Amino acid sequence: MAEAFLQILLENITSFIQGKLGLLLGFENDFEIISSRFSTIQAVLEDAQEKQLKDKAIKNWLQKLNAAAYKVDDLLDECKYEVARLKQSRLKRYHPKTIAFRHKIGKRIKEMMEKLDTIAKERMDFHLHEKIIERQVARPETGSVLTEPEICGRDKEEEEIVKILINDVGNAQELSVLPIVGMGGLGKTTLAQMVFNDQRVTEHFHPKIWICVSDDFDEKRLIKTIIGNIERSCLAVEDLASFQKKLQELLNGKRYLLVLDDVWNEDQDKWDNLKAVLKVGASGASVLTTTRLEKEIVKKSGGVPLAAKTLGGLLRFKREEREWEHVRDSEIWNLPQDERSIMPALRLSYHHLPLDLRQCFAYCAVFPKDTEMEKEKLISLWMAHGFLLSKGNMELEDVGDEVWKELYLRSSFQEIEVRYGKTYFKMHDLIHDLATSLFSANTSSSNIREINYTHMMMSIGFSEVVSSYSPSLLQKFVSLRVLNLSYSKFEKLTSSIGDVVHLRYLDLSGSNMCSLPKQLCKLQNLQTLDLHNCLSLCCLPKETSKLGSLRNLLLDGCDKLTSMPPRIGSLTCLKTLGQFVVGRKKGYQLGELGSLNLYGSIEIRHLERVKNDEDAKEANLYAKGNLHSLSIIWNYPHRYESEEVKVLEALKPHSNLTCLRIYGFRGTHLPEWMNHSVLKNIVSIVIDDCRNCLCLPPFGDLPCLESLELCWGSADVEYVEEVDIDVHSTRIRFPSLRKLVICAFRNLKGLVKKEGGEQFPVLEEMEILCCPILTLSSNLRALTSLTISYNEKATSFPEEMFKNLANLKYLKISEFKNLKELPTSLASLNALKSLQFEYCDALESIPEEGVKGLTSLSELTLLNCMMLKCLPEGLQCLTALTRLEIWGSPQVFKRCEKGIGEDWHKIAHIPTLHIRNNHTTLNYSKNQLYHFSQKLGPGEYVEELDIDVHSGFPARIRRKLVIWDFGNVKGLLKNGGGAFPCA
């Protein structure tokens, strides 16, 4: 890793010298000499990196070099800090503190130069060779136009492919897929271009489409590109289903040729999904692909999928045959026996990483195996350690995002998942082993740069885990870049925090502090201050605006904050601000957001303190294209109700927004910007406690909306969608909506006012709470999960309630206090797997006709249905039913006793039964019955019998035991024994 960090250090030294900062202290010549020493050493580092695997002396030399580089970095950092202080001083370089600083640093620089001379001389003993590291770049996009003026030696292959396409598969009923395979540089794309432009092919196929796939085999992107290639236009909607439908319309019955150039895709499901859409063409429709193959390099992977995948990630960036040969012939394959197997392939993937990726990859070792990492946090940590190289005018966060994506393409990361706008991922155990070996081989505990109180991080190299926090901790580790004290129990941060001048990343999340020391504001290098979930935090230091390098101020969950520190708008580097609490005085108001280029998400609270829309306009939300999530909250009491509509109108967001939440708004109508023009990319909307709004915006127009939550609405709202729909309209309403939650709309009658056109085509999950007169009349054919809760009035459901829910798999009905009967249309739920009734106090029976149709039902739950008299006979016919759970139904409890209960014959075939009444539980399994007849409430053990310690428990075949609501139970058995062998 030394070569990676050295590259960054040399850039920092060059920047320091060119900025004339060294002149202020008189160290410019010294740093130029240090830079020259490092440059001399740098040329042989690539060779040393490979040879250290066999030569321990070289490995030790690299460790010394690495330690020296870190110490020089500290010196450089301290000089920058002193220069920043000097610029604020009138005495400049003649200040007494500056004179003392120059003397101290000058002595350390001299010692450092002597060490570097020794290290530079030692390298001569190893006979290392100079190697140049070439930065591999992604392949440029290809097109169908043949750019080569004259092609030689490919006529035969062209003729063969044209013959196959026109003659051999010309009448084939199935879609034909013909691959052109070979390593990079063999001319696969050129050959495909020759075929594509052949006159015979042009006359035979219509349409012809050329798509450059490269590294991103994304079905939605590819289909959209194919449509644009055919129509030269864009769809108004952005959901995958609409794209699939449109493409099939364009290709249906046509003999087309689709060329997919440079395909790198290891996911068969992705290819199958695309092929299924393409199968609508006429006989002879064909797909021609070009793709690369590892040849004999694949054999070296030993048939291990991870090794092959990692090698693929490496080779996708190698364009020339000589580069592939270099990988094949690397000495790393010839490591000693104990280091063979998959590791050589993984080590090769590291040694062929560009310099700016190596240290970023190895750093991931500080997280324990199988840890779910957050991409945005990892990038901030890379920045804190100085691992990211600046690129022109790009923000460092964007540079980090590029690095992360390239590591992902090289198969370093897996299990990628996006939740609430943040990306989470893991590393394979063996990839983690590689990172650990690299990190520990190149770092030393003598220069700790990261401390973690939490046990979720590893103690490795320059990172250390501590079991307790104390002020002396900061005095011991002076080179800290990262200090993680998250969820520690201390209530006060020591004022000596201001002396840790190198600190870039401070995580105090989840702590019990009420305030922070003002000395914190001395940390001129601090980039990230993480305070999320500091539930007791009331205020931030007034001089927070002096943290000139601050990029991330994470305040999510700090609900006791009464206001922001003054002039937070002067933090021009700030990118992430989890929360902004509006104040009443100048310097604390909403206009402070105006100059900030914010990323990610923000919650704006106490909007009742905004006096007029001019204040709101100063926030300039419309210009913040990097914000993806916005929460707008009014707290009580409201002071300017008449202005709230204007204020919300002035808070119009950028069209890039994907998540929006509005809470506590008291205006009579929501803003005009809530339309498909501004919210064209919105994925999630929550409208909560806006109880004066007389109607809802046309949410059905929003093309990307996947989740909609509507809570505590006005009594005037009768439908979610009030728009009059033309019955002949082809426009789809709610085209992408997958989840719908509606709570406390007491006069809501239905989802749409007028049926017509296609509605809710992909709606899968719906929750309805406290909506006493709402009925479901729409055809919700895609719905798989439905929860209906909290209704004090209804005694029954409409008979047609369940008729249009053919694909429903999960149904839960709870808190219907007066529900007495269920409709027989329950029988139409043929796909239903799970049915739950909870706290339906008045429910007396489940209809026989309704039960018979539940042929897929596997789980039935009846909780606290106190008036339920018996179970339906139809349960005997439900052969898929594997689990029945009944609690709090006294009459049914008695009827379910094994062998003697009146309902026993109805349930005897069910493998798992849990039937409980007060403190008595009947638990049945397919092969064994056991009966807890004791009163478990006042008892102390599940089994109070004195049993022989060598005997088994009657329920020895049980694998799962659930204990619930037994406050006095101390343990399972009063007297041990060989119980629960299978539990």
Per-residue pLDDT at 284: 86
- Phi and psi of 860, rounded to 5°? -130, 125
Q: Which of 389-393, 533-537, 721-725, 865-869 has the lowest average pLDDT?
A: 721-725
Q: Kindly tell me if the per-residue pLDDT of 811 is higher than 60.
A: yes
Q: How far is CA 395 from the centre of its chain?
A: 21
Nearest alpha-carbon partner for 822 in 806, 840, 834, 809: 840
pLDDT band for 878, please (50, 70, 90 cuts): very high
pLDDT, tens digit (0-9, with 9 covering 90-100), for 654-665: 999 999 999 999
**Do 587 and 567 meet the contact criterion of CB atoms below 8 Å apart?**
yes
Per-residue pLDDT at 455: 52
SS3 of residue 13 by DSSP: helix
Separation of alpha carbons 188 and 288, rounded Å? 11
Average pLDDT, the chain: 81
Q: Kindly tell me if the per-residue pLDDT of 861 is higher than 90.
A: yes
Separation of alpha carbons 794 and 230, rounded Å? 54
Separation of alpha carbons 171 and 583, rounded Å? 74
Pairing of strands 929-932, 579-581: unpaired
Q: Kindly tell me if the per-residue pLDDT of 954 is higher than 50.
A: no
Per-residue pLDDT at 982: 40
The residue with tokens 């002076």 is 478
- The reply to whether omega before 541 is within 30° of 0 (cis) is no
Q: Residue 546 corresponds to which tokens in the numbers above?
A: 């002096």
Q: Give the Å distances, CA to CA, from 570 to 164, 184, 615.
A: 67, 51, 17
Mean pLDDT for 574-586 is: 93
Using a pLDDT cut of 70, give the percent of the chain over it.
77
Separation of alpha carbons 416 and 413, rounded Å? 8
Q: Residue 497 corresponds to which tokens in the numbers above?
A: 């925090």
- Phi and psi of 949, rounded to 5°? -65, -15
Q: Which H or E run includes 629?
A: strand 627-633
Mean pLDDT for 229-244 is: 74
Per-residue pLDDT at 157: 83
Within 8 A by CB and 6+ apart from 274, the residues are 219, 222, 223
Separation of alpha carbons 129 and 337, rounded Å? 26
pLDDT, tens digit (0-9, with 9 covering 90-100), for 69-106: 888 999 998 888 888 777 766 655 666 777 888 888 88
Separation of alpha carbons 385 and 696, rounded Å? 49
Residue 448 zone, left/alpha/beta (φ > 0; ψ -120 to 50; rest): beta
Q: Kindly tell me if the per-residue pLDDT of 307 is higher than 60.
A: no
Q: Kindly tell me if the per-residue pLDDT of 135 is higher than 60.
A: no
Taking the CA atoms of the chain, what radius of gyration do you get in angstroms? 34
Mean pLDDT for 805-820 is: 93
Q: Which of 53-57, 307-311, 952-956 has the lowest average pLDDT?
A: 952-956
Mean pLDDT for 446-465 is: 68
Q: Kindly tell me if the per-residue pLDDT of 909 is higher than 60.
A: yes
Q: Kindly tell me if the per-residue pLDDT of 598 is higher than 60.
A: yes
Q: Kindly tell me if the per-residue pLDDT of 948 is higher than 60.
A: no
Show the DSSP H helices in 505-643 as ranges: 613-617
Mean pLDDT for 283-290 is: 88
- The reply to whether omega before 637 is within 30° of 0 (cis) is yes
Mean pLDDT for 27-50 is: 85
Please, which residues bridge with residue 290 across strands?
180
Specify the higher pLDDT residue, 359 or 741: 741
Name the residue type at position 682.
I
Q: Which of 1-15, 285-299, 507-521 has the lowest average pLDDT?
A: 285-299
Mean pLDDT for 165-172 is: 77
Biggest CA–CA distance in the chain, Å, is 100
pLDDT band for 698, please (50, 70, 90 cuts): very high
Per-residue pLDDT at 934: 31
pLDDT band for 429, please (50, 70, 90 cuts): confident
Separation of alpha carbons 462 and 469, rounded Å? 18
- The reply to whether omega before 207 is within 30° of 0 (cis) is yes
Within 8 A by CB and 6+ apart from 369, the residues are 427, 429, 432
**Do 569 and 596 meet the contact criterion of CB atoms below 8 Å apart?**
yes
Per-residue pLDDT at 131: 65
Please, which residues bridge with residue 930 across strands?
923
Separation of alpha carbons 468 and 490, rounded Å? 9
Contacts 24+ apart (CB under 8 A), 196-204: 196/144, 196/257, 196/259, 196/288, 197/144, 197/145, 197/146, 198/158, 198/162, 200/162, 200/166, 201/162, 201/165, 201/166, 201/257, 204/165, 204/166, 204/170, 204/255, 204/257, 204/284
Q: Kindly tell me if the per-residue pLDDT of 938 is higher than 60.
A: no
Per-residue pLDDT at 366: 87
Within 8 A by CB and 6+ apart from 763, the residues are 734, 737, 738, 739, 740, 780, 782, 783
